[in-house]
Structure formats: C-alpha cells, structure tokens
Structure 1
Amino acid sequence: MYQKNTLIITLLFLVLPLCVKAQDIKDRYAKYEAFKSLTKDKVLHGSFHTHWLKDGHSFWYHVLTQEGVKYYLVDASKLKKKEIIDVNALLEKVSAEYGNEVSYNDLERFSVSDNIKSCEFVLDGYKYQYSLPSYKFIKKEKYTKPAPYNWTMDQMDQTNNPPVKSPDGKWLAYIKNYNLYIKDLSNETEVALSYNGGLGLYYSTYLQWSPDSKKIMAYLVQPAEKHFVNYIESSPTMQKQPVYSSIQYYKPGDALPQFYPCIFSVDDKKMISSSKDIIPNQYSIENIRWRKSSESLTFEYNKRGHQVYQVIEMNAETGKNSVLINETSPTFIDYSSKRYRFDINDGEEIIWASERDGWNHLYLFDGKTGSVKNQITQGDWVVRNVVKVNPKNRTIIFSASGKEAGDPYLIHYYSVGFDGSNLKLLTEGEGNHRVSFSAEYKYLVDSWSKVDTPPVTVLRDAQTGKQIMTLEEADITPLLANGWKKPQIFSAKGRDGKTDIWGIFLTPSDFDPSKKYPVIEYIYAGPHSSHVPKDFSAYYNRCRQSLAELGFIVVMIDGMGTSNRSKAFHDVCWKNLKDAGFPDRILWMKAAAEKYPFMDISDVGIYGKSAGGQNSTGAVLFHPEFYKSAASICGCHDNRMDKIWWNEQWMGWPIGPEYAESSNVDNAFRLQGDLFLVVGEMDQNVDPTSTYQVVDALIKANKDFDLLTLPGKGHEWGGEYGERRICNFFVEKIMKQTPVKMNTESLDHSLIQTDIDIDK
C-alpha cells in the first residue's frame, strides 16, 4: 500500500508541472485575445487629425477626453479654443431620428462643415446631416462607399485617346493610320505631320500641345508583349465552380514598351525634334512639361537598371536635345522614394533632390545650363520630404531626419533659403513630428511623440517655429492601469563597429525582469524605407502585441540596407536582398541580450509579410545558426517572380546571378529550422507562385514545413485566423507547448468575428 501511494505521489509531481504549463498557456491565450480591447480608447488627449477651414487661420479637431469625445474649434489668429459639439446632445437627437439608441462609435466619416453650421456622418449605410448648435435633423441620403483603390500594372492604352484641340481652338490633333495628323477647324483641312508610324512602331494618341498652339509633342511608341499572371479562385462566393482570371503583371527581365517624345511644327508641317537616339533601354519616361514660352519641353528619363536618371530638354525652335540634370550612381538611384523636382520661373532654376554627396539633399540647378548653382542642404542627415517651395521669398519648408541628436529616424521640420542660408528648425521637442500647415503656411499644428512617450500637440508660428498655443497633452493613465508596458528603445553598433543600429522591443503586460523570455523578430527590410515604428501607439497589430502577451519579447530593427540613412547604409541592399541587414540585426539582439538578461536568444523566431516574408524565410535559410523558426506571409521569395519596379530597383537589370543567390527557392535546400508559409491564392501584389515554388523546392529537398493557403484572399495576414495560426506556430516551436485547441465539441472557444481578409 505504501509503495502504491508513493507511486501515485511521484506521478502527481511529474504531471503537475505539465498541468500548470497547460493552464498557463491557456491563460496567456486569453490575455492575447483580450489585450486589444483593454488598450482601446485608453489614450486621452492624444494625437488627432487637423481640419483647416477656408479662412486660413481656423481649424477643428476631435479628441478623446475623460468626459468622452470632444470637438474643438481653434482660431489661431486669436489663440482661442472652444468646444463646438455636445456629443451627448447630438447622439440623443440622432437616436430619436434613427429609431434606436446610437453610440458615438456607430458614427462613421464624421465631419464638420467649413462654416461650422452643420455636421455629417454615415450611419448604417446612410449619410446624415445635422445643424449646429441646435442639432436639428437636416437630411438623410444613401451613402455610396468610394471604390477601393486597386493596385494595377495595366499599361495605358496608347491608341484610343480622343483627338486633342489646340489651346487657341484652331486645330485638332489626332492619330490616324499610326501617324500624327492635324485638322484646321476653320476649313476642315487635314494634314499628316508624320509618315513613319506603323504597326510595330506607332504614334501614341497621348498628345500635348505647346501653350502657343504652334507645336505638338507625340510619343513614338515601340510596344512590347504584355505579361500576365493567371489566377484560379477556388471558393468564390457567387458560384460553386472556380473563377479564372488574369491581370497584367510585369516582372524583372520582362520587355517594356519604349516611348520616344517627338516635337512637330504646325506651321512647317514636319518633325522638329526626336529623342529616339538619346534614351535607350528606358524603364520610364515621365513628367513631360512644356515651358510656358513654348520654346522647349522637358521630360525625365529613367534608364533601365536605375543607375542613370536624367532631366532632358528638347528645344522646339532648334531641334537640339540636351541633358539638364544627369544623375548617375554605381549602385542605384532611389527614384521611387527620394525623387524631387520643382521648376522655378518657367524652368530658369530647378530644385532637385540627390544623394550625390552620400546623403539625400536638395540642390539648386541653373535650368538653362544644367549646372549646379549651389547645394541647398548639406550634412550627415537626410531630407525626407519637401512640403512647400515659395519662389517669391525663395524659401523651402521640408522635413528631415538625423539632424538633431538622438534617434536618427525621428522627423523634424525646417525652413531654408534657396541659397542654403537661414536654416531654421520649426519643430522643437524630442520625438517624431507630425505636422499640418494652414493654407498660406502661416501656422502649423505640430504633434510629436516616441514609442515610449505619448504625444504633445501644439500650435506654432510656421515662419519661426515658435510655440504659440498648447492644444493637447496625452494622458495614458488608463492605459497603464490596464497593464500596458511601454516599448523599449535600444541601439547597438552594426557590422562595421561604428554605425548605430536602432530598434525597439515589446514585453508582455505581466513582464517580470527576473524571468527569461524567448525572442521573436518582426521583420520588414524593404529598402524603399525604414520600418521600425517611431510614433506612440497603444497597440501593435500584425501579431506583435499578441505574441508579446503570449510570453515572447518581440523586437523590431532597422538594419543596413534599409533607407533614410546615408547612401552607403542603403547600398548594402544592392543586388543583395538576401542580406536584409541580418548581420546588424543579430549583433543588435546579442547586445540587447547582454544588457537585458531577460532576453533569451537561444531559440530566436522571426516572421514577416511580403518583403518581410522573403526576409523571414531567408533568415532560417542563410542564418540557421541564429534563427530557428520562421513564419512567412505572402513572401516575394524569388525576386524574378515579383513586381518589376520594386525588384529591379534594388537587384538591378539585366538579371544576373545575384537574383538566384538571393532566392529562397534556389536556397530552399538549406532549411534546418522550422518554417510556416502562408499565401493568399488571389494575391495580386506578389505572385502566389512565388510561395508555391518554395514549397516545390522544399518537397524536392525532402524538408519538413507547414503551409496555409487562404482561399479567395489576397496580399493579407489572414485576419484573426491567420494571427492565431502564426501565434500557434511559435508557441509550439519555440515554447515547446501545445497551443489551446480550437477544435472542441463544446465550442467553448472564441469564434472568428471578422472575415479573414481583415488586416489587423
């Protein structure tokens, strides 16, 4: 009997830890499911959107306060602020009209009229309008949602535009039999201006008259075969049988149509100038602009491979073509995110953005000779965006990062003269600044924060940057009361031992620094920008907050190869997307773990979507000694299979061996850790076959992996269901625990409340 009791006690001691763990993970799943609701509406007096009125000095905004949502009108000229809507009184009237109790959260697309005499909103598919301040019902009408933007690569039809009348109304220009014709509208006389157009080399119906009606620009087009991606929607909602469809989709290496601007004279009835011989291997021809004088036009030539970008002038008097600005690079020109041009006084001068000195800065060019008159901004920092150019007083308002001490990604706003003088900071305060200028740029509303510091919003004089009125200071007391923990900012030296690499990490709401927490990296290393959050947020979607609540530390890092630092920092990605900054990321995590012993980097996981999907799979293929498991959602796993503009921008053209070297397909045989692939079968951003080819390569290499296909879905995370599956994957692979089962007879688990195409 004694031996039997001893055996039972021994078994209980062995089973008890398992039971505790099982209960612990169940509790953690409950925490992650509840945490988003615990953070909702818990930041008071936070940041807001500014709605400027036509008078140029007044604006309204709304913000959540201790008493609920309040709407304020601010008169910047008088420094006065007043409440303009009693939300409770309005809701009472709306409920009576609607026939049911209405809460503020039921109202969508709320706006206030410019004269502050009425407000309107959408409720249950109808647009309502009420007067202010009486809250009398004015009208109700059916609301039609704006058509969603559909990303497309469809080429514009160059053969089907209507005839174009000259500015003076005397002539009509059009294409007939592939050639350019004009018609004198006074007598209906038709004259051909070109004769060299044909089936394989024709003139486009996209025509531009000169302002004086004496010249015409027409493209001579060399077409290319269209490239399509084909889809099978397996589970359509409108019918039982699958639906087949195709979209135009151009990939690296595909032939592209070529466009050669030509100028024709109406008086001489002939071509004056052709650009055919000076713009070979185009990626694009953009921004064709006639000078107001009609003496010339300019256009921008982006040569395939993105190592030459030029502003070219075609003289409509002499027929001479000249290069005004010649931007070249041995790696790439970041035309997609750093290009900026502003012509002054009909092209006498040009403001131009360039990285020619190693940092993205503004230059002033002589628009006639193409010579640099002076560099406007300079230093080891980056111009991020031009807000306003004022030719009259020769000043520029722009945003930049890296000029102030601290985190080099934090955005501030400045003004500067065309000659580079009088550089002035307009937004004091450590943080990432979001601003809104009045129409005449007399005032600006400035809101700044950091991930660990809630926002402060003030009104400033836009000429001096002087703060003239405090509008809101955020209160996060309710957020902290619910267990919210602020993200931690951390920087460490990168692979060169000199450059600071910046990132943040999230901890669970019940974080205990005496414990150990496994680490998961959320990655997006697309070279088109930097990606670590800089603004304050109460909740991080895309599984980040959910994984933290499950007991992970979630890190986000901007390694080398991403943008918004020096050109050298950015160039690491050149023909080398597999790098993804991993040497810097790994060093960052090792340094963080040394400083914070609660970070356990013995079994690091990683996940991401799109370019992050390529990065996360690449992590376990190229760095299996550090990354042990990866979840990859809608990844562009092979740069030859993805969209042309993004991949040729960084990987170059013509296609070389670098594409295969960075390919997750060609390197799938390297897999050592755990891999979870997710793909939407109707993804029109990244060709789904990019994921399926990884699957094929893994099968051929006899590798274990997991695959989730989302029927009918596009470039998505998979909503609540996808988030659950991603979380389950890491709980199982890193924590070595069994996720809470969803397949139960009692159905005592949470059900999916939203369609999986909702991106959380």
Structure 2
Amino acid sequence: MLLYTTIRRRSLPCGILLLLLISSACRLYAQGTAEDYRRANDWANRTKDKLYYAPFSFNWIGDSHRCWYYQQTPKGKEFILVDADKRSKQPAFDHSRLATALSSLLHRNYKAYELPFSNIDYSNNGQTLLLNVGDTALQCRLSDYTCKIDSIKQKGTPPNRYWGSSADDQANEPEVSPDSNWVAFIKNYNVYIRNIKTKAEQQLSYDGSEGEFYSTYIQWSPDSKKLVANKVRPNKKHLLYLISSSPEDQLQPKLSTREYLKPGDALPVRTLALFVIDSKQQLPIDPSLYNQQYSLNNLAWRKDSRAFTFEYNQRGHQVYRVLEADAATGKVKVLVEETSPTFIDYSGKRYRYDVKDGQEIIWASERSGWNHLYLYDGKTGQVKHPITSGNWVVRSVVKVDEQARTVIFAASGREAGQDPYLLQYYKVDFDGQHLEPLTSENAQHAAKFSTDYRYFTDAYSRADLPPVTVLRDANGKVIMELEKADINALQQTGWRMPEVFSAKGRDGQTDIWGIIIRPSNFDAAKHYPVIENIYAGPHSSFVPKTFYAGIRGMQELAELGFVVIQVDGMGTSNRSRAFHDVCWKNLKDAGFPDRILWMKAAAAKYPYMDITRVGIYGTSAGGQNAAGAVLFHPEFYKAAVASCGCHDNRMDKMWWNEQWMGYPIGPQYEECSNVTNAWRLQGNLMLILGEVDDNVDPSSTLQLVNALIKSNKNFDFVMVPGMAHSSGGEYGEQKRRDFFVKNLLQVTPPSWNEIKMDNKLLGAK
C-alpha cells in the first residue's frame, strides 16, 4: 500500500485530504509511518544548536596562559576568553560591536551571535583580533572595533595530494649544506655536489641509471661533511580508472586515473648510500637488515653527525626496526626491533621519541599484550625498563619533558569500573615510577595544554553524560569550572539519551561495549526491529564515547520505528593485543560472534528489542562488514545495506589490507571475500556505490554485483553518478531508510515521487 496515492482526487481540499491520509496511515502502521518519516527528516533541524554550554575548539594564545573557545548558548554562538593565571573568563570580544563592524565593512548583515567564523587569533599583545570570513582575511582593533581587510594576501591552500600518490623521487630541489658551502643535486641519475663559491662540480656516485636512480631527497649531516641518499629501483604503478558518466562541465563522460597500490603489488626498492665530502668516497651500507622492505622512512641525522637513524617496516608488517648507520664506517645496527606472529600496528600505535640526541629512546610496543611505553638505551639498543605497564592501553603521548624526565600521555582501561575505552590523562617518570592521574572522572576526557604545560582545559563527557569543562593545573587539580552543559532545550525536542550497554563476548569473560539508541516516541509495549550501524575496521574503535557525538543518522533511523545500536566487537583496536588479533587474516569475522551475543543479552534485558528482525548497515570497511553479515551469519542478520564496501580485500588499498590480511597474498583473502561467497546470500541486501569512489575501487562492489547475478540472487543496487566514497548522500540515506522499513517492518514506504508532487501542489518547499 502507498500512503500517498489519492492526492489527484480534487473533491476535498488538499490539506484536509493529506491529514486524512496521514491519520489513516498512522492507524494502519505503528511504525514506519509518514509521520515517522517526517520526524526523521526533520530531526537534524529540530535538534540543531540545542546543546548549550558545551565548548568547541579550545585554543591557547601563543605562549600565554590565555585561551579561547566558542560554544552554543541560548543567545547563539559565543566566543569566550579565559585567563588561567587570573582564574577568569569573559566574552572574547563585544559580539554586537564586531557584528556591526563586519556588516559595515563587508556590506552584509551579520548578527551578534551568528558570526560567520569559528576561528580567531590575536596579535598586537591581544589588542587586535584576526579572523577570516570566507576567503577574506580581516584585522579588527578591539579598542574601537575598527576592522580592515588584511593587506597581506593569504597564500592559497595547495591542493591536497591524493593519498595513494607516490612521492616523486626526482622532483625535489637541490639541497644546500648546513654550512652553505655545498649544494647536492641529482644529474644523470647520480649524486653530484657543487661548490657554491667556485661553482666546481664533483660526481659522487656512478651507478645510477634510468631504471635505478638516486632520489633527489638528499640529507646532509649537520656538520656538512657527509650526506645520505636513496638509490631507488621504482615499481610499476597500479592505476585505478574512474569514469564519471555525468560531469557537470561537459556532455561526454570523463576518464580519470589514480595511483592505487593493491595487496601483492610490487613496491619500490630503496638502498641507502652514504657519501663523504672531503674524500668523495661512498661508504657501503649493508642492506641485509632492511632488504624486504615495505617502507624505509624517518631518516634523520644525529645532531653531532656521528650517525643517522631510519625506520624499516618489513613487508607483511611482522618486523619493524629502528636502525642506526655509523657515519664513520657505514655499519648498521639495530636500536629497536619489534616482531609479531600476526601484525605490528605501525599505522596506529607507532611512537618513538629520541632523548638527548639518541642517548635513550622512548618506544611504544604491544609486546606485553597491551600497548605501553618502554625506555631503551640508545647506544646498546637494550630495553632499560617499561615506563608504563598493566592491563590497560597507552593511546597517545602528549609531552615528553627531557629535563624533568616525565611523560604526559592519554590512556584507557586503567580505571576499574569504567568503560575501558574512556580516555584519561596521566603523568609518569621515565623510570616508570610515580604514575599520577591528571584526570579521573568516569568519562571521556579531551585535554588541551598550554605551551608550557602549566595548565590544560579538560572537556569530559560520555554518551550518556552531558559535558563538563574545567581548567586544571599541571597536576590535574581543577582550578576553575568553565562550563557545564545544559540539555533542557535538547530534551524538549524529544531527544532521548543513548544507553551505554556492555555484555560478555565470545570468550565469556571479555566485556563488549556499545550503545543503544531508541526513537523519541519510544513505547516499551511495542516490538522494535534492531539495526546495527557497523564499522569493524581494525585500525581503531568506533562506538561514540562523547556526549551527542557520532549518533547523527542513527537517531533518524530510530525515528522510523527501530532500535539502533553500535558495538565494538573483537578485532577492533584500543583493547588488548589478543582482542585485536582476532582480525588477523580474518576480516570476515568482524567481531560478529561478540556482536550477536551482545544483542542477545540486550534483548534478554529489553524484550521490546526484536532480534528475529535484525538489520545492519555500514560504509567502506563497514560496507564489507554489512554485506558479510548476511553472507556469513544469515541466521541472525536479515537485511543489510552496504555502501562503497571493500568486498574483496585484494581489490582494496595495499597499506590497509596487507596490514590485517597479511603478505604474501594467500587463501585467506578469498575465504574472506564477499565476492567469492556471494552464493551464500539468504537475506535482503542493498548495495550502494559512488560512481567515482577513489578510496575503495568501485569495481569491488561491481564484482559483487556480478557474482550475485551469476548466483541468481535477488538484491538491490544503487549507483550514484559523480559521487565519491560515501554512504550515498541524501539519496542513499533515503533508499537505506526505505529498505529497512520495507524489509524489517514489512511496511511499504511512502512514494517519494508522489510526496514531492503533493508538496508542490500544497505549496510546500
């Protein structure tokens, strides 16, 4: 049944007829009604700017102890200035006077609490406000609110380099030595130096060629007596071809290409070369410690020129080394070696800090089963001792203070009784003693430190706890409460607090954490299908931990008559190493055994959660996961929407997939492929694809489409012309909502074509 099929009958006024139809629909369908659709579509507007006194964008001003932030208040957007020394806060400027000044200068009507910028800076000892309105840079004198367009033109922002593009090893400018006596450059694929005074050239290498050349990225030693360069044997580039069928600037389609290395592709091979300037000699560097490379990077000379260090990531990501080459002999030794039988999370957990020009090294490692910091002897490469330890996770390092020999860092999972993902801040000595919590409240903390680390702002909240913002001193003591969020206006819109929920995972011991989102008109007497928003990428964890963040889209879906959930299952990051290793060569797992048990536990507590009708949706890796749910777990998941999914890991980007699926390419890739397992489909599946997706090769989805057709499977497919990597935009969101309403609620969605025609007849916009 269509909810809007009789509007063409003109015997009744359109407005009355529409109300009758809505009333009839609401009686027929308890969920998925036209009114539910209207509420979902209007949800973002209804709740926009209704969370008050929850600051954004903390910024310390230079080296001072003053900072500013902005926040939404009942008036609108307000900027606040804090002086930590004086324990004071005040408006950052006179909003009305600034709005008047900008309106006069730019010939626009600006309102005091709807100012057209979110970033400011100060100059002239805080007397001048610097800001940008669009592309226009402005200076405003705070003494009299005289504003002028900045006479110094802002430099244009360089175009973003495509993430897959390789560096051009032949594109760098000649390198001048630190003493300004020499310039090093590449000529005829070899390394040359030129005396700046005499202009005399000297060739240093003789074995470069077009197929194996020296890179123009050359690094001089600080004393200008040596230099190091890479000899490169390039790989064959893998090109991704994209066809835009409907470009806006021409009738005919456009073809474009991107560099896009995939698992198993050849990589460039780099060999280090060390040259001595006085003798014009090349010292041999034994490549045996770095000859199966995925990458060589972070090359840096010691300040005293005694050696240079570099980092080696072995192909397959199971060996990672920090290496040092002696500048006098070229001999290479290992300073740090990390090994793993599964993978080293180089892209998410690598941390290194060299203390006092390499006398010691602070290094992050999961060798204990948890990510922690270790102190190395920089000469011998031996571990002195752990700096942190325990069944919890160091998430990031904020500051290493060499003089005080302390480390400020963020970590999660240390505080008993708290969600193990919640970030807290700590300070610890290099010797691992005197670990001091700087924050402790049971919440997700976000700290922003002054440049001298004497103060920091701390905004803390949870998905079920409104934000509180305080100012703390270096020891974590609260010296001033800055803001406490007001959620009354938000609650008046019908908004409901998400519930944080945990249940045991597949091992019966590990807590799995997630959130439950209910519709604003929730009625415990009804039964609600459950829809999971999934992203199980092993590079992080994804369930929102801060208040009112990350639930956009989920709440709108819930408004149609669903309970929507999000869970971090095993195989994702920020827990123990064993928790993470579940993903190894097994991305199809995606934590599904944990997710299913979590939903069963939630349904046991809340019988209105109908887990005989479970849907799932996701994008990118989440698209792979969503499709995998109905292929590998059809007994539980009945409907899935997969957007821009990497449905076969051999078709996706090298760096991400080889890290989790391993190298060389083995049978595990096929075993985890949605394409080769398309024949398993039992439930309902919709695939959404951006035509010019340059993050995940569009052919990944199209090959799944092909496999489903060959398996004679019924499914839905939506390709959005001109769209890149996304969930499908507004159109995709509309199709996703209709898909779940139809397949989980067994309700025929409203006819969007007729709704839009009805709106036009009724004069609606």
Match of 1:177 in 2: 188
SS at match of 1:613: helix
SS at match of 2:460: strand
Partners of 1:741 and 1:144 in 2: how far apart?
Answer: 50
Q: CA deviation at 1:435?
A: 0.8
Partners of 1:322 and 1:520 in 2: how far apart?
Answer: 53
Q: Is this contact kept in 2: 1:546–1:727, CA < 8 A? A: no
> What CA deviation, in whole Å up to 9, does each residue of 1:554-574 have, x standing for no partner?
100000000000000000000
- Structure 2 counterparts to residues 10-409 of structure 1, below 5 A: 20-21=28-29, 25-103=33-111, 104-105=113-114, 107-114=116-123, 115-123=125-133, 126-132=136-142, 134-139=144-149, 146=157, 149-405=160-416, 406-409=418-421
The TM-score with structure 2 as length reference comes to 0.93
Q: Note closer, same or farther for the CA distance 1:21–1:381 as it changes in structure 2 (3 Å cut).
A: same
Q: CA deviation at 1:434?
A: 0.6
1:48 is aligned with what amino acid? Answer: F
SS at match of 1:569: helix
Q: Is this contact kept in 1: 2:26–2:35, CA < 8 A? A: no
Q: CA deviation at 1:400?
A: 0.2
Partners of 2:601 and 2:576 in 1: how far apart?
Answer: 23
Q: Tell me which of 470, 484, 490 is aligned to 2:481.
A: 470
Partners of 1:133 and 1:108 in 2: how far apart?
Answer: 21
Match of 2:446 in 1: 434
> What CA deviation, in whole Å up to 9, does each residue of 1:234-292 have, x standing for no partner?
01011111111111110000000011112111122222132433312211001001111
Q: CA deviation at 1:747?
A: 2.0
2:94 is aligned with what amino acid? Answer: D
Q: Is this contact kept in 2: 1:354–1:363, CA < 8 A? A: yes
Q: Note closer, same or farther for the CA distance 1:180–1:147 as it changes in structure 2 (3 Å cut).
A: closer
Q: Greater CA deviation, 119-128 or 667-676? A: 119-128
SS at match of 1:400: strand
Q: Note closer, same or farther for the CA distance 1:84–1:267 as it changes in structure 2 (3 Å cut).
A: closer
- Structure 2 counterparts to residues 535-684 of structure 1, below 5 A: 535-537=546-548, 540-541=551-552, 543-684=553-694
Q: Is this contact kept in 2: 1:619–1:627, CA < 8 A? A: yes
Q: Note closer, same or farther for the CA distance 1:131–1:594 as it changes in structure 2 (3 Å cut).
A: same
Match of 2:495 in 1: 484
Q: Note closer, same or farther for the CA distance 1:18–1:424 as it changes in structure 2 (3 Å cut).
A: closer
Partners of 1:358 and 1:750 in 2: how far apart?
Answer: 62
Partners of 1:159 and 1:124 in 2: how far apart?
Answer: 37
Partners of 2:536 and 2:78 in 1: how far apart?
Answer: 39
Match of 2:437 in 1: 425
Partners of 1:745 and 1:18 in 2: how far apart?
Answer: 16
> What CA deviation, in whole Å up to 9, does each residue of 1:277-320 have, x standing for no partner?
33122110010011112111110000000000001111111221
Q: Is this contact kept in 2: 1:178–1:199, CA < 8 A? A: yes
Q: Is this contact kept in 2: 1:273–1:316, CA < 8 A? A: no
SS at match of 2:148: strand
Q: Tell me which of 696, 703, 709 is aligned to 2:706.
A: 696
1:715 is aligned with what amino acid? Answer: H
Q: Greater CA deviation, 715-724 or 583-592? A: 715-724
Partners of 1:524 and 1:453 in 2: how far apart?
Answer: 24
SS at match of 1:49: strand
Q: Tell me which of 422, 443, 450 is aligned to 1:410.
A: 422
Q: CA deviation at 1:132?
A: 2.2
SS at match of 1:743: helix
SS at match of 1:446: strand
Q: Percent identity?
A: 54
Q: Is this contact kept in 1: 2:647–2:700, CA < 8 A? A: yes
Partners of 1:198 and 1:128 in 2: how far apart?
Answer: 52
Q: Is this contact kept in 2: 1:273–1:314, CA < 8 A? A: no
Q: Is this contact kept in 1: 2:614–2:639, CA < 8 A? A: yes
Q: Is this contact kept in 1: 2:410–2:425, CA < 8 A? A: yes
Match of 1:723 in 2: 733
Q: Note closer, same or farther for the CA distance 1:640–1:737 as it changes in structure 2 (3 Å cut).
A: same
Q: CA deviation at 1:669?
A: 0.7
2:411 is aligned with what amino acid? Answer: A
Q: CA deviation at 1:112?
A: 4.3
Partners of 1:674 and 1:420 in 2: how far apart?
Answer: 54
Task: In structure 2, list runs of 5 or more residues that go unmatched.
Answer: 1-22
Partners of 2:658 and 2:231 in 1: how far apart?
Answer: 25
| Matching of residue 508 in structure 1 with residue 519 in structure 2 | yes
Q: Greater CA deviation, 467-476 or 278-287? A: 278-287
Q: CA deviation at 1:348?
A: 0.7
Q: Is this contact kept in 2: 1:451–1:535, CA < 8 A? A: yes
Q: CA deviation at 1:100?
A: 4.8
Q: Greater CA deviation, 109-118 or 566-575? A: 109-118
SS at match of 1:590: helix
SS at match of 1:351: strand
2:281 is aligned with what amino acid? Answer: K
Q: Is this contact kept in 2: 1:457–1:470, CA < 8 A? A: yes
Q: Note closer, same or farther for the CA distance 1:670–1:511 as it changes in structure 2 (3 Å cut).
A: same
Partners of 2:461 and 2:494 in 1: how far apart?
Answer: 20
Partners of 1:330 and 1:538 in 2: how far apart?
Answer: 36
1:70 is aligned with what amino acid? Answer: E
Q: Note closer, same or farther for the CA distance 1:145–1:669 as it changes in structure 2 (3 Å cut).
A: farther
1:613 is aligned with what amino acid? Answer: G
Match of 1:5 in 2: none
Q: CA deviation at 1:18?
A: 8.5
Which 4+ residue blocks in structure 1 deviate beyond 6 angstroms? 15-18, 140-145
SS at match of 1:669: helix
Q: Is this contact kept in 2: 1:362–1:375, CA < 8 A? A: yes
Partners of 2:651 and 2:756 in 1: how far apart?
Answer: 45
Q: Note closer, same or farther for the CA distance 1:218–1:363 as it changes in structure 2 (3 Å cut).
A: same
Q: CA deviation at 1:531?
A: 0.5
Partners of 1:583 and 1:303 in 2: how far apart?
Answer: 32
Task: In structure 1, list runs of 5 or more residues that go unmatched.
Answer: 1-14, 752-760
> What CA deviation, in whole Å up to 9, does each residue of 1:203-239 have, x standing for no partner?
2121111111111101111111111001111010111
Paired residues, what number?
Answer: 735
Q: Greater CA deviation, 143-152 or 75-84? A: 143-152
Match of 2:532 in 1: 521
1:313 is aligned with what amino acid? Answer: E
Q: Note closer, same or farther for the CA distance 1:538–1:326 as it changes in structure 2 (3 Å cut).
A: closer
Q: CA deviation at 1:539?
A: 7.0
Q: Note closer, same or farther for the CA distance 1:273–1:37 as it changes in structure 2 (3 Å cut).
A: same
Partners of 2:55 and 2:26 in 1: how far apart?
Answer: 46
SS at match of 2:289: coil
